């Protein structure tokens, strides 16, 4: 357990993640606390902050301790007015119009893996959580891609090092058709299948079914078979944590070592509303 002043980071009893208490994120953390939180994210992959009470501006300010905050390509449609860095995930409608993206992230993925500079981290703050007959719905699944790499045979690890997967923005089925501008902004790019964490140096698998459309230097059939096999390996039960949301809970995860997916087991009249910020990362190596 990592302690810094009142800050406490306690690992979850799960494949990945830790709960963080003793910090009020409505106030910008001092440099030492920010460094401790950043270090904890690199170690644990997911940080859960319960009982936070944040304005949009406070969430954006906290997000910046990890790096520059991206503006989503759909911000004009689902951004929160006055805070363009904050993107709304929701099935709520007002006057018949959705206030957020309702079916985002249905498949396993790492945020912005199709970009030259993928997301280093993503943050979600729960404002409304769907409940039906006393059961909380709308969980998020997380997969530990570093543990998945560690579990591979040494021969496979060696085989994968140096290989690069092609990521295509148009490879994934999206709830909202991308604009021509977004497609032009994100041409296909290749990243290492074995990615090294920019802070910790830990290796992890950086590949998924939908965004990966090929492997450099490999024929299409062999590439698709390898992509599928690795994608299925990453989400084996021993590497997966299913997170149940609570109102006023903030969760940040490391896209270098964690994949995630939304579990869409709810519908109106159950309401779900979360605020998302995305932190830009370095070019993967």
Q: Where are the domains of the chain?
A: 2-280
Residue 168 vs residues 32, 141, 184: alpha-carbon distances, Å: 38, 23, 11
Q: Which DSSP category does 145 fall into?
A: H
**Which residue in 42, 34, 41 sits closest to 19, CA to CA?**
41
pLDDT of residue 272: 97
pLDDT of residue 191: 98
Per-residue pLDDT of the chain (285 residues), as tens digits, is 444 568 999 999 999 999 999 999 999 999 999 999 999 999 999 999 999 999 999 999 999 999 999 998 888 778 888 788 999 999 999 988 999 998 888 999 999 999 999 999 999 999 999 999 999 999 999 999 999 999 999 999 999 999 999 999 887 665 566 678 778 888 999 999 999 999 999 999 999 998 999 999 999 999 999 999 999 999 999 999 999 999 999 999 999 999 999 999 999 999 999 999 999 999 999
119 Rama sector, left if φ>0, alpha if ψ -120 to 50, beta otherwise: beta
pTM: 0.93
The CATH number of the domain covering residues in 2-280: 3.60.130.10
Cβ atoms within 10 Å of 212's Cβ, excluding its own: 28
> Could you please report the per-residue DSSP string of 68-95?
PBPPPTTHHHHEETTEEEEEEEE--EET
Task: Say if CB 89 and CB 273 are below 8 A apart.
Answer: yes
Distance, first Cα to last Cα, the chain:
29
Q: Identify the H or E element spanning 195.
A: strand 194-196
Q: What is the pLDDT of residues 81-139, one digit of tens each?
A: 878 899 999 999 998 899 999 888 899 999 999 999 999 999 999 999 999 999 999 99
Round to whole Å and give the CA distance between 77 and 84: 10
């Amino acid at each position: 357990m990592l302690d810094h002043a009142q800050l406490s980071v306690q690992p979850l009893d799960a494949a990945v993640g830790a709960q963080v208490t003793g910090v009020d994120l409505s106030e910008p953390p001092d440099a030492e606390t920010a460094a401790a939180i950043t270090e904890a994210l690199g170690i644990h992959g997911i940080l859960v902050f319960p009982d936070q009470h944040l304005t949009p501006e406070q969430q954006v300010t906290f997000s910046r301790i990890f790096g520059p905050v991206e503006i989503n390509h759909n911000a004009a449609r689902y951004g929160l007015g006055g805070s363009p860095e904050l993107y709304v995930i929701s099935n709520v409608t007002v006057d018949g119009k959705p206030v957020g993206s309702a079916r985002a992230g249905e498949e396993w993925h790492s945020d912005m893996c199709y970009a030259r500079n993928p997301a280093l981290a993503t943050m979600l703050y729960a404002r409304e959580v769907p409940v039906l007959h006393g059961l909380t719905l709308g969980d998020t699944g997380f997969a530990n891609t570093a543990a998945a790499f560690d579990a591979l045979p040494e021969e496979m690890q060696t085989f994968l090092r140096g290989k690069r997967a092609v990521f295509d923005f148009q490879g994934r089925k999206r709830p909202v058709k991308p604009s021509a501008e977004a497609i032009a902004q994100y041409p296909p790019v290749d990243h290492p299948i074995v990615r090294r964490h920019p802070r910790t140096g830990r290796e992890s698998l950086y590949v998924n079914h939908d965004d990966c459309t090929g492997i450099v230097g490999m024929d299409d059939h062999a590439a698709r078979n390898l992509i599928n096999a690795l994608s299925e390996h990453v989400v084996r039960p021993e590497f997966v944590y299913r997170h149940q949301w609570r109102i006023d809970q903030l969760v940040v995860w490391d896209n270098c070592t964690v994949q995630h997916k939304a579990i869409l087991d709810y519908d109106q009249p159950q309401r779900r509303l979360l605020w998302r910020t995305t932190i830009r990362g370095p070019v993967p190596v």
